[in-house]
Amino acid sequence: MRLNELLQRSDLPGIEINGMSCDSRTVARGDLFVAVQGGLNDGHTYVDEAVQRGASVVLTERPIGVVNDCFVVADSELVSQRNAIAARLFGNPSQSIECVAVTGTNGKTSVAHGLANMLRDTGFMGSLGWGMCPNLETSDLTTMDGIALQKRLAKLHEWGACRVAMEASSHALVQGRLSDVDLAIGIFTNLSRDHLDYHDSMANYANAKRLLFKEFELSRAVLNIDDEFGRQLFTLCKQRGIDVTTYGRSEEADISAVIDSLTLDGAIGTWRTKWGDAPLRLPIRSEFGVENCAAILGTMLHCGVEFAHACEQLKDLPPVPGRLEFIKHHGNIQVVIDYAHTPDALEKTLRALRQLKPLELICVFGCGGDRDPGKRPLMGAIAEANADRVVVTNDNPRNENPEKIVAETLHGMDQPEKATKILDRESAIEEAIGSASEGSLVLVAGKGAETYQEANGVKTPFSDREAALRFM
C-alpha cells in the first residue's frame, strides 16, 4: 500500500509500504517505522537503527530532522492512530477472523490455550507465544503491541485460522493495544491481587479488566459468576445487550462442575448446566483447572459446538506447558512446574497439590523484581502455611537486589528461620529435589514455561523444567 493511501494524507508521496513496526528490531526493508514515546523507552532513539534495517518511512510524534535518505512524517495524531493504520495495511484481519479475548488475574493462558486446541482452525496468542498449537512462535509480551497484533492476525488468517483465542492483559487494555481489533467474545476468569506496581490500586486494576466488556462491541461473554467482580461484569454485559454464559459453583451459574474425585489421573464428576447434565472426565488435577475448563466449555458452546460433543472433546484437553505441569517421577517423587506468581495463584496451586495427598509438599518459589512488592510477604505467608517445606529463591529479580526481594518475602512468615534460602534458582531446585523423600511432591512455582531468567537488564537462558529434569 502506498504511504499517502495508508496514512490518508494526500500531501504525502506514494512511497510503497511493505510492512510496519514500532519495534526497531523487527523492521524489514520497505517498512514504516513508528516511533512511540513509551513509559520506559522512547522509540525516537531507535530511528537510526530502524533506518539501518531498511525502513523507508519513519512516523514520529515530534520533529527529528533529516534521517539519511529516509522520509520522515512528524504527526503525533497519526502516531496515536497507529493500530488503525496497521489494521488498514494488513487488510483489517479481525473482520475475517473471530477474535476471542480472555482476561483475568489467573487462568488466561490455560483458557486461551485450551480453546485453541478444542476449537477447529483456531490460533493462539498469549504468554506462551502465538500461532497454531502446538507450533507456536515466541512472543515477549502476554498481549503484543497493537501493530504486531494486526500483523499476526493477518498471518493467522493466511494460515487458515478462522478464529483466534488471545490473552488480554490489564496493561494491554489500558494501553489500547487491542484497539481496532474487532472482538467477538470476552471471557473473564477471576480477579485477585497483581500488577499493583503499575495500576496502584485494586480499583484501577479492576477498571482495566472492565475495559474489555465496556469498550468493545462484544456479541458474547463468558463470566466467572463466583467472583464478585464477575458479577459486576455480568450486570454490565446485560445492560449492553451482550449474550452472557456464566460458570462457577453458584446455583445461578449456567455451567457448574460437581467433582466426585480428583487424583493424579484427573477429575471425574458431572457437568451441571442449563443445557442438561453430562459426565465430566478431565485430564485436570485441580479445582481451579476444572473452573478453567468450565470457561472453555461455555465458549465452545458460544462458538456453535454441540453440548455433548464439547464435553466429550474436553476429555482429551492437552496439557498447558508450565501450568500445573507434572513432569516425570524421580523414583517416587513427583515434580510440578507452575506459573503461580500471585498470592491467589500460589495458594490455590498448593491447596490443589495438597489434595493429592503427598507425604511431603515442598515449595520452591521466588518473587519478581520491579513488580508489586506488597505481594512478597503475602506469598511468603501462603507458602509457609500450605507447604511442609519452603525453599525461597530468585524469580526474575530484574533491576532489584535479590537479597532484598527474598528478605521481604521471608518477612511474611511466622518462622522464616525454617525456610531454606538459596538465591541461585537452579541450586534451589536441586536442593528441593535432592532432599525430597519418597512420596514427596515438589512444586517449582513462579516462572512456568519461561525460558529465561532476567537480572540487571539481561535475559539468561533458563528453564525450570529443564533444571528439574537435570536432577531427576
For residue 302, being part of any structural domain is answered with yes
Nearest CA-CA partner of 421 in 449, 456, 388, 394: 394
In a 3-state reduction of DSSP, which class is residue 125? strand
In a 3-state reduction of DSSP, which class is residue 275? coil
Quote the Cα angle for 300-303-307, to 5°: 50
Rounded to the nearest integer, the mean pLDDT of the chain is: 95
**Mean pLDDT lowest among 142-146, 284-288, 339-343:** 142-146
Quote the Cα angle for 397-401-407, to 5°: 95
97 and 189 belong to one structural domain: yes
Taking residues 396-410, report their average pLDDT.
97
Taking residues 55-65, report their average pLDDT.
92
Instruction: State the pLDDT at residue 38.
Output: 83
Q: Is the pLDDT of residue 386 over 70?
A: yes
Q: Are 380 and 374 in contact (CB under 8 A)?
A: no
Residue 142 pLDDT class (50, 70, 90 cuts): confident
In the block, residue with C-alpha cell 482476561: 103
Taking residues 296-301, report their average pLDDT.
98
Please provide the DSSP assignment of 377-429 as one string.
HHHHHHHHHH-SEEEE--S--BTS-HHHHHHHHHTT-S-GGGSEE-SSHHHHH
Model pLDDT for residues 131-141, shown as the tens digit of each residue: 999 999 988 77
* Domain of residue 443, CATH code: 3.90.190.20
Nearest CA-CA partner of 54 in 107, 84, 17: 17
Q: Is the pLDDT of residue 191 over 80?
A: yes
177 and 260 belong to one structural domain: yes
Cell of 252: 445461578
Cell of 402: 535479590
Strand 266-273 to strand 255-263: parallel, antiparallel, or no bridges (unpaired)? antiparallel
Instruction: State the pLDDT at residue 464.
Output: 97
Cell of 158: 493466511
275 and 353 belong to one structural domain: no
Among candidate residues 80, 111, 138, the one where a domain is terminated: 80
Nearest CA-CA partner of 20 in 45, 50, 48, 64: 50
Instruction: State the pLDDT at residue 193.
Output: 86
287 and 432 belong to one structural domain: no
102 and 220 belong to one structural domain: yes
Q: Are 67 and 51 in contact (CB under 8 A)?
A: yes
Question: Could you give the percent of the chain with pLDDT greater than 70?
Answer: 99
The one-letter code for the residue type at 278 is: A
210 and 267 belong to one structural domain: yes
Among candidate residues 299, 316, 333, the one where a domain is terminated: 316
Q: Rounded to 5, what percent of the chain is helix, strand, coil?
A: 35, 25, 40
Instruction: State the pLDDT at residue 141.
Output: 73
* Domain of residue 63, CATH code: 3.40.1390.10
Q: Is the pLDDT of residue 330 over 70?
A: no
For residue 88, being part of any structural domain is answered with no
Residue 34 pLDDT class (50, 70, 90 cuts): very high
Instruction: State the pLDDT at residue 290.
Output: 97
Taking residues 12-23, report their average pLDDT.
96
Instruction: State the pLDDT at residue 120.
Output: 96
**The residue count for the chain:** 472
Instruction: State the pLDDT at residue 178.
Output: 96
Q: Is the pLDDT of residue 223 over 70?
A: yes
More confident residue, 144 or 17: 17
54 and 111 belong to one structural domain: no
343 and 286 belong to one structural domain: no
Instruction: State the pLDDT at residue 4.
Output: 96
d(CA 7, CA 12): 8
Instruction: State the pLDDT at residue 217.
Output: 97
Please list the alpha-helical segments (H only) found in 53-101. Answer: 76-80, 82-89
DSSP 8-state symbol, 254: S
Instruction: State the pLDDT at residue 455.
Output: 96
Among candidate residues 80, 107, 137, the one where a domain is terminated: 80
Taking residues 209-228, report their average pLDDT.
97
Burial of 392 (0-12, 13-18, 19+ CB in 10 A): buried
Taking residues 443-451, report their average pLDDT.
96
254 and 378 belong to one structural domain: no
Q: Are 374 and 202 in contact (CB under 8 A)?
A: no
Instruction: For residue 28, count other CB atoms closer than 10 A to its CB.
Output: 12
**389, β-bridge pairs:** 362
- Domain holding 151, by residue range, is 93-316
d(CA 168, CA 146): 12
288 and 334 belong to one structural domain: no
Number of helices (H), then strands (E), in the chain: 17, 23
d(CA 144, CA 126): 8
Q: How far lies 38's CA from each of 41, 177, 226, 256, in Å?
A: 5, 13, 37, 43
d(CA 33, CA 47): 8
Taking residues 236-257, report their average pLDDT.
96
d(CA 323, CA 385): 22
64 and 130 belong to one structural domain: no
How many domains does the chain fold into? 3
Q: Is the pLDDT of residue 41 over 90?
A: no
Instruction: State the pLDDT at residue 32.
Output: 97
